[in-house]
A = this chain, B = another copy of it.
Amino acid sequence: MRQVPADPDRVTAVYRIEPDAIAPEELARLIAIEQTVEIPAALIPPGKIQDEVVGRVESVTPDPEASGSHRITISYGAELAGDLFGLLAVAIGNAPMYGGVRLVELQPPRALLEALSGPNHGVEGVRRMCGVLGRPLLATALKPQGSSVAELAAIGEAFARGGGDLVKDDQNLTDDFEAFRGRVTACGEAVERGNQVTGRRCLYLPHAGAPAEELERYVEFVAEAGLPGVLICPMITGLDTMRALAERYPLIFMGHPSLTGTYTHAPGHGVAHGVLLGTLFRLAGADISVFPDAGGRFRYTEAQCADITERLREPLGGLRQAWPSPAGGMGPADVGRICETYGPDTLLLIGGALLGYPGGIEAGTRQILDRIREVHPEVSIEPADALRPSLPEPRRLAFRRDWNWEGRESSAYKDAGDLTFRGVRRVELVGRFGERTRCDLRYFEVEPGGHTSLERHLHTHVVIGARGEGVLLLGGRRMPLRHLDVACVGPLEAHQLRNETTEPFGFFCVVDHDRDRPVRLE
């Protein structure tokens, strides 16, 4: 059924198309153009654009599974999918606006697979953090929304006391940052209390759900608090947002399927379950992909669940394998079946049924784990160290009378070959040594007669005069800069600092850590 991609250096996409007035060969050609140059075929310039940019129809064959339907395979140049944004645009993009088009297979190009990090921890990493080998892991959710923090924390503690492996927030738990901080702290401590009793390590993953401009702060808090991971709804935040966060924070990322039903659930249209909840979630850094099991309240089929699971585990460049996490109304009676169907590398997510367990959550957790161990025996290992990021040592840079700082090197005075600056030395004080500041602090010193480059850039500067006296040229104006004078250089303002005296002129410069490259103006 799976097709071998013709060329690992291209994007290969297989679409299933329903019977239609347009012949399958013609629709294949239309999609190959639609996703790339998006102009009428007659206007496509010959040469590079026709040969390298337009998608290439590799095959059109009757679909063996659906009478009357066809499978069309189109490949696209790797440069159209240099990042996840590009892959989504070229492989999905406009194509579903033709009705009856479903993306059923997706092979990213080798270059993209090498550029993406994928899951931070994957199957093996999460096992090491829990200290559990050999059997499926058991997870639950803190719910329902509307409960008090104490009620939610009590669920986490009871589950941990019962020996459970992973607690996640319900994805409906969203609140402002201060409430989030309070809730997450309390629930993290509660799970830890449970761990103290068992000697095991149950992991707690809060839901990072917040407006776009605040989302990173939530994830950052989780990382700084030493918690092991977060739950994310990538189709709400944007898949590539999860990818960016996962690259920046060495956490477990658990992807929730909210909104994915719009992509997957129309038979014959959209994106196949395995491509979205398997391949794309994994490319976007999901260590764990949650989806409704075929036995639950959503009517996923066994084939759809197997498709997701296969894509989470199959070879995909050098990316780690991710955990399938079947969920959605599973109860204790389903445990044996799930363990047998999915195998040991599976994260069972049992929420509501555990909340209502007759003997309580702690006893229920223990009984479900016993049932899991009957199918796949457990091997315990010492859990790996917690993930708490190492903070930089408290650090003070003592000022020296020679205008240097202990522990920091000064670049020598030098004249650039291009002559855009002259007689400037620099001391990088903060920002290049693992600090978490968003701004860097540098000290510059300009010799008598020297000057910095005349330049402009999008990022801004704050300068503070420190030694002697200089001149700041700013947008055509001249202004002096003396000891402890402060000046701002705005976006795209041409600026230069000059020393027109006979003594050294030194100043501090505060600048965004992530910044654009200056444009030299002379």
Contact = CB atoms under 8 A, between A and B. Distances in A.
A438 B37 contact: no
Interface in A323-380: 328-329, 351-353, 355-356
A396 interface: yes
A238 interface: yes
28 contacts: A30-B297, A38-B172, A85-B211, A89-B171, A89-B209, A94-B257, A97-B257, A99-B265, A99-B266, A99-B267, A211-B243, A211-B244, A217-B458, A225-B492, A237-B238, A265-B266, A265-B269, A266-B270, A391-B493, A392-B488, A394-B474, A394-B487, A398-B485, A399-B465, A435-B488, A437-B460, A438-B438, A464-B508
Interface of A: 30, 35-40, 42-45, 48-49, 52-53, 80, 83-86, 88-90, 92-99, 101, 141, 143-147, 170-172, 174, 177-178, 209-213, 217, 220-221, 224-225, 233, 236-238, 240-241, 243-244, 248, 257-271, 292, 297-300, 328-329, 351-353, 355-356, 391-392, 394-399, 405, 429-430, 435-439, 441, 458, 460, 462, 464-466, 472, 474-475, 477, 479-488, 490-493, 508, 510, 512, 514, 516-517
A49 B174 contact: no
Given A43-B356, A212-B240, A224-B492, 13 more contacts: A30-B297, A38-B172, A38-B351, A40-B356, A49-B146, A85-B211, A94-B257, A212-B243, A238-B241, A263-B263, A397-B485, A398-B485, A464-B464
A368 to B, nearest CB: 16
Q: Give the one of A38, A170, A488, A516 with max B CB within 10 A.
A: A488
A220 B517 CA distance: 14
The 6 closest A-B pairs by CB, nearest first: A266-B266, A238-B238, A96-B261, A37-B144, A97-B261, A399-B484
Nearest to A245: B212
B236 A85 contact: yes
B491 A224 contact: yes
Contacts of A257: 94, 97
Nearest to A41: B352
A259 B92 contact: yes
A268 to B, nearest CB: 8
B490 A466 contact: no
Contacts of A465: 399
B262 A271 contact: yes
